[in-house]
Amino acid sequence: MPRATVTAFLSGFSRRQALRTIELPGGFAALDDAYPLSYADNQVFIDGPTDPAGLPGLVDRALAPLPHRMVTVLDEDMGEACAPYLTAAGYVHNIYVVMLHEAPVPPAAPTAAPAPLSDFRTALARRWRGFVPDAGEEVIRQLVDRRENRRRGADVVHFVTARTAAGEPAAWADVYADPAAGVAQIEDLVTAEEHLGRGHGTAVLHSALHLAADCPTRFLIADSDDWPRHWYARQGFTVIGRMHHFERV
C-alpha cells in the first residue's frame, strides 16, 4: 500500500537524519543539538498508537529544555484523535496532504540538475529571510546549513537546482530516495522571489521526478490549505492521505 510505504519512509528518514533520538510510546523525538533553533530538526514524531490525552505532557518531557514544541503525527486517524488535546494545550494545528505521482514521468529539464548546497546557499538564505523577516542571522544560518544533514536520511539524496540563462540559482528542491524499497520523496520545492512565474519551479519538479523515475512510489507533502497542492495536482499528483502537524512557540 502506497500510504503505508510513505509512512515507513518518512519515519525512517527522520530517524536516520536525527543526530539522536528518544524512543517514546507510539513514536520518537528526533533531535539535533547542532541546530537547536530549527524546529523541524527538534520535534516529536508519532508513527504508531499512542495515548492522545497524554501526548502534550509526553512532548514537554521529550523536548525540554527547548523553548518550542513541535509534533508530527503521520497517521491520519491518530492525528485527528490527538488534535483536541494538543490544541487545548496551545498548539496550532495544520493538516498536510500526502500526494502520490501517478502520471508519466516527464523528461528532465535542461536547466535543472543536482547541485551542491554551496551552489544555492546564498539564494536559499535570502529566501528564508523573506519567509521569516524577524529571524536573526543565527536562525537563518541554521535553517540553511541543516539541509546538508538530510544526506543522512536516505540512501540517495539530491539537491536539484534550476538556473537562469545567466547561471543564477532560481529554484530548488530535494529528492530523497530508497531504491531498494522503491520510494522517493520530493521536498522543499522553492523558487527565488525574483524569479517567480518563469517556469523554474516546473523545471525543478520535472528533473526531480526524472531522478526518482525508478521508484514506483513517488510522493510529496503539501499544505492542505495552500495553492501549491492544486499546482501539484496539475502535475500528476493525487492526494492519498493526510498527516497532522502541531506547533507551539
Q: Is a pLDDT exceeding 80 seen at residue 1?
A: no
How confident is the model at residue 125, as a pLDDT? 97
| Domain edges within the chain | 2-97, 112-212
- Write out the chain in H/E/C secondary structure: CHHHHHHHHHHHHHHHHCCEEEEECCEEEEECCCCCCCHHHCEEEECCCCCHHHHHHHHHHHHCCCCCEEEEECCHHHHHHHHHHHHHCCCEEEEEEEEEECCCCCCCCCCEEECCHHHHHHHHHHHHHHHCCCCCHHHHHHHHHHHHHHHHCCCEEEEEEEECCCCCEEEEEEEEEECCCCEEEEEEEEECHHHCCCCHHHHHHHHHHHHCCCCCEEEEEEECCCCHHHHHHHCCEEEEEEEEEEEEC
What's residue 98's pLDDT? 98
Q: Is the pTM of this model over 0.85?
A: yes
Section 147-163 average pLDDT: 97
Chain segment 50-101, per-residue pLDDT in tens? 999 999 999 999 999 999 999 999 999 999 999 999 999 999 999 999 999 9
Domain spanning 112-212: which superfamily? Answer: Gcn5-related N-acetyltransferase (GNAT) (3.40.630.30)
Which pLDDT value is given to residue 241? 96
**Above 90 in pLDDT, residue 178?**
yes
pLDDT given for residue 2 in this prediction: 87
As a whole number, mean pLDDT of residues 218-238 equals: 96
Question: Does residue 44 surpass a pLDDT of 80?
Answer: yes
